[in-house]
Every structure is written in structure tokens, then in C-alpha cells.
Amino acid sequence: MLDTEPPAALVDPFVGTGSGGRWVGRINAFPGASAPFGMVQWSPDTTSRPQGGGYDYADSALTGFSLTHLSGPGCPVAGDVPFLPVAGDVPAAPERATAQFRHDSESARPGYYAVTAGQVRTELSTTVRTGIARFHYPRGRAAHLLVKVDGGATRDSDGLVRAVGDREITGQVTSGGFCGSRNRYTIYFAARFDRPIGAVDQWPGTTAGATLSFDPDADGTVRMKSAVSYVSADGALGNLEAEADSWDLDQVAAREQDRWNRQLASVTVAGGTRDQRSTFYTALYHSLLHPGVFNDADGRYPGFDGQVHRTAPGHTQYADFSGWDIYRCEMPLLAMTVPDRADDMATSLLNDADQGGWLPKWPVANGYTAEMSGDAADPVLADVYAFGDHGFDARSALRLMVHGAEDPPQPPGQGWYIERPWGAEYLTRGYVPSTVPAPAPGAPTGRAPADRAPTDTAPPGPPPPAAIRHSASTTLEYAAADFAVSRLAAELGDGATAQRFRTRSHNWANLFDPATGYIRPRDADGAFPAGPPVDVRDGHEQSGFAEGNAAQYTWMVTQDLPALIAAVGGPGAATARLDTYFTQLNAGPGRPYHWQGNEPGFATPWIYDSTGRPDRTQAVVRSIMDQLYSPTPGGEPGNDDLGAMSSWYVWAALGLYPETAGAPLLALSTPLFPRAVVHRPGRPDLVLTTTGSGRFVSALARDGVPSTRTWIDPARTGRLDFILAAAPDPGWGTDPADAPPVLG
């Protein structure tokens, strides 16, 4: 095929629906239909119910087609309100019914999914807030549709379904508990059919659901429109009226594919192989699925205070931010390519904080979850300002960021959530200790229970010190967040706040052990633990680090790279250590090598740009792309995490990377394609070209002027022309002055 194919034709929604190997496991993407940043993701769920995506390519039976999914999180979530068409007799236990399928009966493209499961051919498409289905039943067989109201991915309750006239149903279910958190949300749905419902049989017992029976048309077809709302059943009906304007599924799917072509055209590439273009556009597709629209067509949405709010005209409330994952590179990508949406995403986080009291991390629907360490909303907001068009209230953002970092956590959000659970210790000591003295029995801790390690019943006597999980990586995350606060404050002219937080962003150094050359946990007395600095067991995270180990996290200091490089022995020593580190590219949490499948290592390949060896960045980045990404079900190196893993590939293929959250700088590697254009609304395009062969940069012109710098400021760059060679060029990018600068 020519490289002029429309981008949606190059997307393969089955990428990421399989397993990527031992350390990757299930990638947890979903293959079903969704609009860009849609509220509805109508997709199949398979019997093993993978987390978030609901679908495992290795399975051969479906449990239903549910209306909500997230692409690749590490915990079960969504999967709300599955529908399963059944031909013939109704199963004795409909809530557990499944339907066998084969992959050769499946097809998927952006905005469309189809499969033959059991004896029924199902086709699905969506708009932003609605879905449309076409069920083809065998002629002469009874046609049923199972509505598994409480069949979601997590603990469901209060489910119900009711008939409205003879062609419509509405219902609701309450769900939540993401990663064991306390979040809960209620989702409402409405479904309308193109023919009367012959019977609505409510399921007896504790399981909520109903069996709908139909008399299909002459071809055995039943058509269905559906919609969801987080406000009310009337809200779902309103969304149905506003968006579901056609019974013609082919027409709806064609319009949705056009929408995707326009959205994917935010970045255009030419050249390379078709597999490379397919991998690129599939990664961009996954990057544009989330966060999702949360308000109804009339602007209403439920806030973090439990009240119904309304968006300003022309704006959108978004939900489901996998903050810890997406702040590193997905939010800068969205800020550059869809700045209006990114502004509304930033405003959505500010709305959450105004309603709930604190900026959230990994919010699901309108609830806090406290999932993952750090304070990810800070770099998310700073990213949007640094790479976008400043179309949100940045001063309110700065106020809320400072509030979360420095104010006592009272009252907690939604009665329990604390933005920085170990913020007081961090401010007092300059790091989060691995243990703190335990409180007196019965005394309040002011801390989220999830941040304490599980303990057995305490023996009589003084309580032992309490262990803090992930203390070292939490310190690094707080320091990175502080840097993001300092950058936004500096941009807004608040020098005092900028200086205070920039000073605090150096706190990583309080955990650097000069005797070993690693970031390590320290206890409340300042002592490092006994034993080796990289104390790892294959398959297990190291004590003090979230989903990783000291060898991986020591490099997560991009706000102070010259200081870190000096601390490990200088550019030569850092290069040698990185060379050893990159002898494995996806080693998992328990080996002292790179783990591309975990977000804290995303920027590490670009550190060579700061050690005088940009050729090593160019080689390592391309090796990761070639070895760990592909247009296959297992073609990503880790959980997609709502587009985080995919957005890394988009940047890498462009030869660019937002190395430091909140800093408007892009580190350079080698572009994959001979030509790429990043279309920036309201700004000139960023054009990248390559000539020559090989993966090493031998020369570069920035806007027509020769440059040896290994970084750019995207706001001041319109064109990059690379000349490539088969061997490294020691004259390009190797001078210390060529390295990315340190801001502040």
C-alpha cells in the first residue's frame, strides 16, 4: 500500500489486546468502538476479564459487550453494563452466559467492531456519548438480548433495569473500587430498539439484569441504540436524543472513521514501511482515547462534591486521568496537538480540586482513588501550560498545586483522600523516610491507609515504627512535581514560589548514597538500609520503590541531570553505567536493567544526550522501538495505561521527547520517517525531515541554521532537517554545550 493511506486505515485496534511476555503480561487494550476521548467505549469482554480493556486475545469466549472501557490500566475498572445477544434458548444462569467466537470472524477499525459470537453476528459503532449495534440472529431462532446490569469489572451494586414503553429500557448501576480504593460512581444507561421488545424478563435473586426477547426483521436483524450518563437516566436519554440520529450503523461508522481520520491527522508521517506506519498510527490512536468526556450533551456532570455541575458553553469536562502514567509524555503530546482539549482537561482537574478540596491523582469518574505515588496533577498541569496554548486558569492551577504541596491535609478529600500522604515528612526532612515513629494507640495518623504497609496485629507494648511503602520513589515523584510547580510559577512571574519549589525539587539528592552511587531509601534517622544498593528479587519490586528498583529509579532525576551525572562519576561513568543498564530493555521490576514497560524509565534513553553520547540515545531508542513495539496483539512493552505506553512511541518515532515534565524542551533522537509534520493548532507546524540512511545523526539544521544541540524549544522551532549516517558522528551533539539545559 502507498503511504498516502488515510491514517485510520493504518490503525489496528487489536494491538495491545494480547500479552507482551513475562514482564509485560496483558497489555489490556480494548479492540471495540470509541470516538476520540469518548464517553462510550463499546467493546467485547472475554471470559478472563482482563483489567480495564476487558479483552484478552488468547480467549475464545465472550461474556458480553459493555459500554465503558479504559485502555490498559493495571487494575480492573469500567466494563459497565454488558449486553450479550443469544439465539435459541435462554441460558439457565444468564448472568454467567458466554458465547464462543473465533478471531477470523472479527474485524475492527477506529469507530467500528464486529464479531460472530455464538450464532449471532454483532456489529458496533459509537458517537461520543452513544453507541449503535446491529445484531444478526439466525433465521428461525428465538432472538434474545441479555442485559447484565451488574456485570462490570469491579464490585457493582444497586443495579436495575426497567422498560420504558415497548422499545426502550433504562437502568443504572453503582461501581468503583479501582485498585482497592474507595471510589464509587453511578452510571445510568438508556437503550432504544428499532422494533418492539416482546418480553422483559427480570432476573430473580441478587443479580441485576434482564432478558429481552425480540421478533427480528426478515433478515434476522435487531438494531439498538444506547447511551450513558453519570448524572441520571434522563441524562442518558438526552444524550441519545442529541447524538443517536441514525439507525444506519454503516453511516454512523463511516462518520466515526472520518472523525478519527481528522483527529489522527494531527500528526502526518510519510515513508517507512507499512508496519512502521501502522504501529505509529495505532500508538497515536491509543494516545487519543483518554481522558474521556464526562459531561452530558447538555453540559451536566457530577462533581467531586457529589453535586451536579454544568460546563461552560463550548467546554468539556473530562474524567479518568492516569496521572502517574500520562504526565511523562502523553500530556505534552495532547497539549501540542489538541490544545483546546488539553486546556479543558486541565480545567477539569481544577474543577475536581475546587469541588473535592484537592487535586486528584488517577481519578476515576468523579472520585479520588489515590492510586500511585507522587502528585501527578502538578506535572500534568505544568505540561499543558508548557506545551499548549495557555487556555486554562493557570493562576488557579498554581494556587491549588501549592495548596496540595504545603497545606495540612484537612479536611481530606471525600472524607479520606490526601494529595501528598507523606507531605509533612517530606517538608520536614527533605525526603520521605522509609519508616516513621508509630502514633500512640488510637491517635489519628492523617494518612491514607493505602500508603501504609500491611501489618499483623501489634504485640503488647510500644508500637513499632510504621513502614512507608515506596518511600524512595515517592520522594523522587514529589521532587519532580515540585519542579513542575516551580516552572509554572516562574512562567506566571511568581519568583518566590518558583525559587522555593525549585530548591525543593533538588530533594532527590537527600536519597543519593555517594558510597554506592544509587538513590536509596532512608529511615527517619537518616540511615540507608544495610545490604546491597540494588537489592532485587526477580519478579519483585525493590523495597522503597513502586514497581521497580534502585537501578531504574536512580535515573528519574531529569530536572537535575548535570548534578545526577556528576554524582555518579561524570559523563564517562554515567555512559558506561547506562550501557550496562541497557543490555536488557524490558527486564521487569526485579532486575537492575531497563524496564520500558514501566513509566519511570521512559526518559532514561535520552540521558545520553546529556553525557556527550547522543549516538547512544539514537541507538537505544531505535532498539526499543524495533524490539518492543509491533502491529501485533502483544506489540507494546507494558500496560498501555490509557495511552502512556503508546505516546512514548509517537514521540520516539518523531525523534523527540519531553524529557522533563513541565519544561518546554524536547530532547532529540533520530526520526523514524523521512518526513513528519506535527500540526499545532494556532501555531506553525513542526516539520521534521531526514536524508541519508542509518540511525545516527551526523548533521542537523534548525529552521535552516546548522545546529549541534541535542534539544529544541518547540515554541521557537518550526523545522528540523536531519542528515543521517550509518555510523556515529563524534562531531555532532557531543560538546557539553550541546546538552539540554537545566531550567531554573
pLDDT for the residue 444:
36
Per-residue pLDDT, averaged over 524-553, amounts to 94
Q: Are 589 and 470 in contact (CB under 8 A)?
A: no
Q: Which residues contact 386 (CB under 8 A, 6 or more apart)?
A: 332, 335, 487, 491, 662, 663, 664
Per-residue pLDDT, averaged over 591-601, amounts to 96
CA–CA separation, 421 and 466 (whole Å): 14
What tens digit of pLDDT does each residue of 86-125 get? 999 999 999 999 999 999 999 999 999 999 999 999 999 9
Whole-number Cα distances in Å, 593 to 160, 233, 379, 586: 50, 51, 26, 8
Q: Does 542 have pLDDT greater than 60?
A: yes
What tens digit of pLDDT does each residue of 286-336 get? 999 999 999 999 999 999 999 999 999 999 999 999 999 999 999 999 999
pLDDT for the residue 437:
67
pLDDT for the residue 54:
93
Closest CA to 43 of 411, 251, 213, 289: 289
Q: Are 59 and 48 in contact (CB under 8 A)?
A: yes
Place of cell 545490604: 531
Sign of CA dihedral 300, 376, 410, 178: positive
What confidence tier does 445 reach under pLDDT thresholds 50, 70, 90?
Answer: very low
Q: Does 685 have pLDDT greater than 70?
A: yes
**HSE of 120 in the Cβ direction (CA atoms, 13 Å)?**
30
- Of the listed ranges 165-174, 379-388, 461-470, 618-627, the least confidently predicted one is 461-470
Could you tell me the three cell numbers for 640?
498501555
What confidence tier does 345 reach under pLDDT thresholds 50, 70, 90?
Answer: very high
Whole-number Cα distances in Å, 624 to 126, 269, 327, 604, 605: 34, 20, 21, 12, 9
SS (H, E, C) 679-726: CCCCCCCEEEEEEECCCEEEEEEECCEECCCCEECHHHCCEEEEEEEC
* DSSP-derived 3-state class of residue 624: helix
**HSE of 559 in the Cβ direction (CA atoms, 13 Å)?**
27
Which H or E run contains 401? helix 394-406
- Of the listed ranges 55-59, 202-206, 423-427, 510-514, the least confidently predicted one is 202-206
Q: Are 65 and 79 in contact (CB under 8 A)?
A: no
Q: Are 27 and 18 in contact (CB under 8 A)?
A: yes
- Our measurement of the distance from residue 16's CA atom to the centroid of its chain's CA atoms, rounded to an integer in Å, reads 13
CA–CA separation, 277 and 380 (whole Å): 28
Closest CA to 133 of 225, 250, 31, 237: 225
What tens digit of pLDDT does each residue of 447-496 get? 333 333 333 333 444 555 678 889 999 999 999 999 999 999 999 999 99
126 bridge partner residues: 131
What tens digit of pLDDT does each residue of 499-531 get? 999 999 999 999 999 999 999 999 999 999 999
pLDDT for the residue 465:
65
Per-residue pLDDT, averaged over 212-239, amounts to 96
Each residue of 280-308: b (16+ CB within 10 Å) or e? Answer: bbbbbbbbbbbbbbbbbbeebbbbbeeee
CA–CA separation, 352 and 355 (whole Å): 5
Q: Are 701 and 708 in contact (CB under 8 A)?
A: no
pLDDT for the residue 653:
98
Q: Does 725 have pLDDT greater than 60?
A: yes
Place of cell 461474556: 63
Place of cell 545526577: 564
Q: Does 582 have pLDDT greater than 50?
A: yes
Per-residue pLDDT, averaged over 3-17, amounts to 94
Q: Could you please report the per-residue DSSP string of 650-669?
A: HHHHHTEE--STT---EEE-
pLDDT for the residue 438:
54
Residue 581 phi, psi (nearest 5): -60, -40
Considering just the CA atoms, what is the radius of gyration of the chain in Å? 26
Q: Does 168 have pLDDT greater than 70?
A: yes
Sign of CA dihedral 694, 700, 703, 705: negative
Number of neighbouring beta carbons within 10 Å of residue 462: 11
Determine what percent of the chain is predicted with pLDDT higher than 90. 90
pLDDT for the residue 9:
98
pLDDT for the residue 3:
65
Number of neighbouring beta carbons within 10 Å of residue 47: 14
Number of neighbouring beta carbons within 10 Å of residue 255: 17
Q: Are 9 and 17 in contact (CB under 8 A)?
A: no
Could you tell me the three cell numbers for 491?
512562567
Q: Does 51 have pLDDT greater than 80?
A: no
Residue 260 phi, psi (nearest 5): -65, -40
Q: Are 131 and 122 in contact (CB under 8 A)?
A: no
211 bridge partner residues: 146, 201
What tens digit of pLDDT does each residue of 639-677 get? 999 999 999 999 999 999 999 999 999 999 999 999 999
Q: Please give the torsion angle defined by the CA atoms of residues 585, 590, 592 and 596, in that order, rounded to the nearest 10 degrees.
A: 30
pLDDT for the residue 454:
32
CA–CA separation, 330 and 352 (whole Å): 20
What confidence tier does 283 reach under pLDDT thresholds 50, 70, 90?
Answer: very high
Determine what percent of the chain is predicted with pLDDT higher than 70. 96
pLDDT for the residue 52:
75
* DSSP-derived 3-state class of residue 374: coil
What confidence tier does 443 reach under pLDDT thresholds 50, 70, 90?
Answer: very low
- DSSP conformation class of 344: H
Closest CA to 484 of 556, 407, 378: 378
Chain mean pLDDT for the chain: 94
Q: Are 413 and 421 in contact (CB under 8 A)?
A: no
Which H or E run contains 260? helix 249-264
CA–CA separation, 357 and 418 (whole Å): 10
pLDDT for the residue 690:
98
pLDDT for the residue 206:
78
